[in-house]
Structure 1
Amino acid sequence: MAKQFSSIDDRLRDFIARQHIFFTASATSESRVNVSPRETLCLRIISPNTAIYLDRTGSGNETSAHMKADGRLTIMFCAVEGPPMILRLYGRGRIIHRSAPEYRELLHEHYAGEEPLGARQIVWLDFDLVQTSCGFGVPLFSYEGERPSLDQWAKAKGPEGIEEYRREKNSFSMDGLPTGMFDG
């Protein structure tokens, strides 16, 4: 049932565009595996083998630590509406921090220059394997909308409070790996 491809074609790009959620998975050989849900509004497929997403401040920063230490990253989409399918992008990622000139360039080019409060970095994935599978075991759900919680949290914290929070909660992974967020 699984099919493998070397890149994204128009059919797979259309599938991704219809999804409302995706998941990232990362790890190092010595760390816990991290799986995180993300809203697809922050995702861009910028070439047949490259995806980026605008990452916002969260309770941890495992993906950043794993990218710095190892680089392996998988992004998974699964249809919860319509025909069943799971799609995974396998590759190597890197983090582009807000202080990097490349961050501003990508923000301008792919997000109309708009940065939501709490944005902390862009995750870049170069993938060399795309795999689809049946998705028969994925339950059906109806999309109601995005939660306002992250925006409300960021607004209540304000820029200084978010910076303080990042220094406390986002500098190291749960396994003690540095995220690189405050290097230089």
Structure 2
Amino acid sequence: MGVFYETIPDSLRPWMLEQKMLWVGTAPLSGSGHINISPKGGQQFGIIDERTFWYMDLTGSGVETHAHLHEPGNGRICVMFMAFVGPPKIVRLWGDGRPIENGTPEFDAFVEEHKVKIIPGSRSIIMVDIHQCATSCGYSVPYYEFKGHRTILDDHFAKKDAKYREGNEAESMDRYWAWKSQLSIDGLPGMKRGYDFAQKNKVAPLKKMIGPYAPSSPRTASRIEPIHLLLVLFLGIVIGGAMALSVVTPERLQALQRKGQLL
């Protein structure tokens, strides 16, 4: 059955590092926003210490994880592994996530220090500060035979990068990130590098939702309306006045009445 830990136990590390894929789950703060679950293929991830996990985020058409982790007051993330061969097992990591975007000094330093292999499609390193780790049975997870990793994504961005280096500016990763990694499906800012490039170069974001659920403005957490602030202020005045009167003694009240200061 399930066992919970505050850190990643040493007994789980070898198994985790052998896995061929993982899943990450995030969500915006708004109740009307959309939860996101993303599969991550490949073994481009690692464990720095018992409380720190990372994985390489590759470029795609979505940018939900970035948007949720960048959202002020958010940062919640869950990472999940599951066994498809051998004894059944599911491992989850809960924590606070932070994207370290490609092109920043912190990204370059991390790649150098940890000898991380990057490709043209490498978008960010996602750092996870873990506050809970758990195992569960995984008894209903089916068996699957691993045959190999797909290279389609790597090949696509390698060709795109080659065209850019030959002088085709339209093939730049910055322009691609500005188009597809600018906003989440809820209209929240996604990759900072892509968002900044889009604002400077007037690149319109990819339209990601249709119909009544397509956002007309960013879906953010509910804010306090002005009318609520006025009600709080009014109640404060009433309560303050009542408290002030409650401390006036009968003698003081009679003295004020005699002086005509209180009708």
TM norm structure 2: 0.67
**Higher-Rg member (1/2):** 2
Contact map agreement 2:54 2:127 (CA 8 A) in 1: yes
2:27 aligned with 1:27: yes
Cα pair distance change 1:113/1:75, threshold 3 Å = closer
> Match of 1:133?
136
In the alignment, structure 1 residue 3 sits paired with structure 2 residue 3: yes
- The answer for the alignment partner of 2:176 in structure 1 is 165
Letter in 2 for 1:107: V
Aligned equivalents of 1:40, 1:121: Cα separation in 2: 15
Given that residues 74 and 88 in structure 1 are in contact (C-alpha distance below 8 angstroms), is that contact kept between their aligned partners in structure 2?
yes
Contact 1:23 1:37 in 2 (8 A): yes
TM-score (norm 1): 0.94
1:105 and 2:109 are equivalent in the alignment: yes
User: Deviation at 1:22?
Assistant: 0.3
Q: How many residues align?
A: 183
Q: Deviation at 1:113?
A: 5.1
Deviation at 1:150, TM superposition (A): 0.6
Q: Which runs of 5+ in 1 are unaligned?
A: none
Deviation at 1:119, TM superposition (A): 0.6
Q: 1:120 offset after TM fit, Å?
A: 1.0
How far apart in 2 are the matches of 1:180 and 1:150? 19
Q: Indicate which of 129, 139, 146 corresponds to 1:143.
A: 146
CA distance in 2, matches of 1:113, 1:136: 34
Q: Distance in 2 between matches of 1:11 and 1:145?
A: 26
Do the aligned residues in 2 keep the contact of 1:108 with 1:114 (CA within 8 Å)? no
Give the secondary structure class of the aligned counterpart of 1:109.
Answer: helix
Out of 84, 106, 118, the position equivalent to 2:88 is 84
> Is 1:37 aligned to residue 48 of structure 2?
no
Report how far residue 40 of structure 1 moved.
Answer: 4.2
Unaligned runs of 5+ in 2: 197-263
User: CA shift at 1:137, angstroms?
Assistant: 0.8
- The structure whose RCO (Cα within 8 Å, separation 6+) is larger is 1
CA distance in 2, matches of 1:88, 1:103: 25
| Per-residue Cα deviation, 1:56-82 (whole angstroms, up to 9, x for no partner) | 111111100000111000000000111
Give how far 1:100 is off: 1.9
Q: What is the one-letter code of the residue matched to 2:25?
A: A
* Paired letter, 2:75: G
More helix by percentage: 2
Contact 2:19–2:43 at 8 Å: present in 1 too?
no
Structural RMSD (CA) = 1.4
Structure with the largest fraction of strand: 1
Query: Which secondary structure state, in structure 2, belongs to the residue aligned with residue 90 of structure 1?
Result: strand
Q: Give the conservation status (yes or no) of the 8 Å contact 1:118–1:154.
A: yes
